[in-house]
Chains A and B, each alone.
Chain A
């Protein structure tokens, strides 16, 4: 199991354990973490699973593809460490991953 720490925009935290191989979005939704809408169900086409990845973890993720980059462009709240978390697949190396959900999803 992989541990993920979700913070919301007010700073309140929630720790979730999930199996390697699923996405951070799926881990959030199946554990009822608020602040993730995932309207498209995980096909990188709605930009409503936007998270800010904790700086220490940014370099450990696989690079985003052009489509994720374009979809993130729809969000007005995009930052350097923005990702769509349906595109982050959990692995043992990501045990302890920290992400923050934005106040609003697109």
Chain B
């Protein structure tokens, strides 16, 4: 640990000596490869790094990084093994690569092991269960339609802001029964929750914490309203009336709220954007889609694989163990790089390509596997399916006119801006 830089946040800037941006992945010593560096994700240079580690060091140890030493698990089958062995690989204390700062800790069930994880998750999973989603389909469709009908034709605009963010934010507000006119606060809190201080959204941990306090205050007010009313079908009502959650401490409430905001926001948002980008990069797939809209459900799974909106999940070894020949010690950080497993050609043929009619498209790692599998997976798929059905009814082409801007994060894999021009269908 003495080798780690004294000021980790400072050293994470792209221009620091730790940066891998612009470097040839095959020209540097294996042990220097640090996938956690956000720079290579923002600059879209991560793929060759992932490929080299899959081939040469599928369970790779990075001894020196701004966030301390960690293992990287690169292959599909090894990721599967870690994800489905919670008795060996714990989700506590956190699923992010940075160890939580004690005073800024917000616990939630994504970073809990059984049995507490199972109890808390059970309370809220009903709201995103497919049987409940069926009732939301009409509402999602009408909101998606309204957003798309409002877009300018034949002129440049930012798809991220006008469509991806707007649609997912409206959905979140619906799930929380959050005041609709204040819904943009949800987007802000979601961004802040995963932001690296200095990365453009907040400048310091204190500033980040201030926003989180505002979030907590707002949701505490909503909790108090809902707990004194009849139980409803929104997430806050469910939490405030649920046996396993109604006495949770404020920080745990905040943690679970943030989990649901981030889980339901960044991920779907970036998959909506990523799908448009992928179809522009693979125009023959766009043609396939134009010819057959019934490919949309399969395409949605393929987009979620191709995008992999969360690049990794972290576990911490509970015991000394061995993985694909490497000895992992109790307490070691273990990073499952879903973004790499989803590119593993031992399981996925031509993984770098988007193939919208790919067989077994559902077998991607983006939702994780095992007890922590994405709770909102069906909601995400439904949102994406609906938005693509509505898009294909309206537009002949969504033309991406310049390289999108990507997010400075090795965790949230997504886009802050993507300029497009819409071309309507000939009527």
**Per-position 1/0 for A64-84, Cβ under 8 A of B:** 000100110111110000000
**Residues of B close to A77: CB separation below 8 A:** 129, 131
Assuming A70-B118, A77-B129, is B363 touching A40 (CB within 8 A)?
Answer: yes
**Per-position 1/0 for B126-158, Cβ under 8 A of A:** 100111100000000000000000000000000
The answer to whether A73 and B129 have CB atoms under 8 Å apart is no
User: Does A86 belong to the interface (CB within 8 Å)?
Assistant: no
**Residues of A close to B378: CB separation below 8 A:** 104, 106
User: Does B80 belong to the interface (CB within 8 Å)?
Assistant: yes
The answer to whether B84 and A43 have CB atoms under 8 Å apart is yes
The answer to whether B114 and A105 have CB atoms under 8 Å apart is no
**Per-position 1/0 for B74-86, Cβ under 8 A of A:** 0000001001100
The answer to whether A74 and B114 have CB atoms under 8 Å apart is no
User: Does A41 belong to the interface (CB within 8 Å)?
Assistant: yes
Q: How far is the CA of A71 from the CA of B369 in the complex (A)?
A: 10
The answer to whether A45 and B80 have CB atoms under 8 Å apart is yes
Distance in angstroms from B326 CB to nearest chain A CB is 21
- Which residues of chain A from 28 to 44 have any CB-CB distance to chain B below 8 Å in the complex? 37, 39-41, 43-44
Q: How far is the CA of A40 from the CA of B77 in the complex (A)?
A: 11
Measured CB to CB, the residues of A under 8 A from B are 37, 39-41, 43-47, 67, 70-71, 73-77, 103-106
Q: How far is the CA of A103 from the CA of B370 in the complex (A)?
A: 22
**Residues of A close to B131: CB separation below 8 A:** 76-77, 103-104
The answer to whether B369 and A45 have CB atoms under 8 Å apart is yes
With contacts defined as CB atoms under 8 Å apart, how many contacts are there between chain A and chain B in the complex? 56
Interface of A, helix, strand, loop or mixed by DSSP: loop
**Residues of B close to A40: CB separation below 8 A:** 80, 363, 369
**Residues of B close to A75: CB separation below 8 A:** 129
User: Does B122 belong to the interface (CB within 8 Å)?
Assistant: yes
The answer to whether B84 and A41 have CB atoms under 8 Å apart is no
The answer to whether B363 and A39 have CB atoms under 8 Å apart is yes
The answer to whether B80 and A70 have CB atoms under 8 Å apart is no
The answer to whether A74 and B371 have CB atoms under 8 Å apart is yes
The answer to whether A104 and B130 have CB atoms under 8 Å apart is yes
Q: How far is the CA of A93 from the CA of B129 in the complex (A)?
A: 35
The answer to whether A39 and B84 have CB atoms under 8 Å apart is no
**Residues of A close to B373: CB separation below 8 A:** 45-47, 74, 106
Chain A's closest residue to B375 (CB) is A74
**Residues of A close to B64: CB separation below 8 A:** none
**Residues of A close to B321: CB separation below 8 A:** none
The answer to whether B129 and A104 have CB atoms under 8 Å apart is yes
Q: How far is the CA of A47 from the CA of B368 in the complex (A)?
A: 12
Q: How far is the CA of A76 from the CA of B131 in the complex (A)?
A: 9
Q: List 29 A-B contacts (CB under 8 A).
A: A37-B362, A39-B362, A39-B363, A41-B363, A43-B80, A43-B84, A43-B369, A44-B84, A45-B84, A45-B370, A45-B373, A47-B373, A67-B84, A70-B118, A70-B371, A71-B370, A71-B371, A73-B118, A73-B122, A74-B121, A74-B371, A74-B373, A76-B126, A76-B129, A76-B132, A103-B130, A103-B131, A104-B130, A106-B377
User: Does B350 belong to the interface (CB within 8 Å)?
Assistant: no
**Residues of B close to A39: CB separation below 8 A:** 362-363, 367, 369
Q: How far is the CA of A45 from the CA of B86 in the complex (A)?
A: 12
Assuming A45-B84, A103-B131, is B125 touching A74 (CB within 8 A)?
Answer: yes
**Residues of B close to A70: CB separation below 8 A:** 114, 118, 371
**Per-position 1/0 for B186-222, Cβ under 8 A of A:** 0000000000000000000000000000000000000
Distance in angstroms from B348 CB to nearest chain A CB is 12
**Residues of B close to A74: CB separation below 8 A:** 121, 125, 371, 373, 375
**Per-position 1/0 for B106-127, Cβ under 8 A of A:** 0000000010001001100110
Q: How far is the CA of A100 from the CA of B15 in the complex (A)?
A: 59
**Residues of B close to A44: CB separation below 8 A:** 84
Q: How far is the CA of A98 from the CA of B129 in the complex (A)?
A: 25
* A-B contacts besides A45-B373, A75-B129, A104-B129, 13 pairs, CB < 8 Å: A37-B362, A40-B80, A41-B363, A43-B84, A46-B373, A71-B371, A76-B125, A76-B132, A77-B129, A104-B130, A104-B378, A106-B129, A106-B378
Distance in angstroms from B352 CB to nearest chain A CB is 22
Q: How far is the CA of A37 from the CA of B363 in the complex (A)?
A: 9
Q: How far is the CA of A44 from the CA of B132 in the complex (A)?
A: 24
Q: How far is the CA of A100 from the CA of B387 in the complex (A)?
A: 32
Distance in angstroms from B291 CB to nearest chain A CB is 23
Q: How far is the CA of A15 from the CA of B132 in the complex (A)?
A: 30
Q: How far is the CA of A70 from the CA of B377 in the complex (A)?
A: 18
Distance in angstroms from B115 CB to nearest chain A CB is 9
**Residues of B close to A41: CB separation below 8 A:** 360, 363
Q: How far is the CA of A67 from the CA of B371 in the complex (A)?
A: 9
- Which residues of chain B from 241 to 274 have any CB-CB distance to chain A below 8 Å in the complex? none
**Residues of B close to A105: CB separation below 8 A:** 130
Distance in angstroms from A37 CB to nearest chain B CB is 6
Q: How far is the CA of A39 from the CA of B80 in the complex (A)?
A: 12
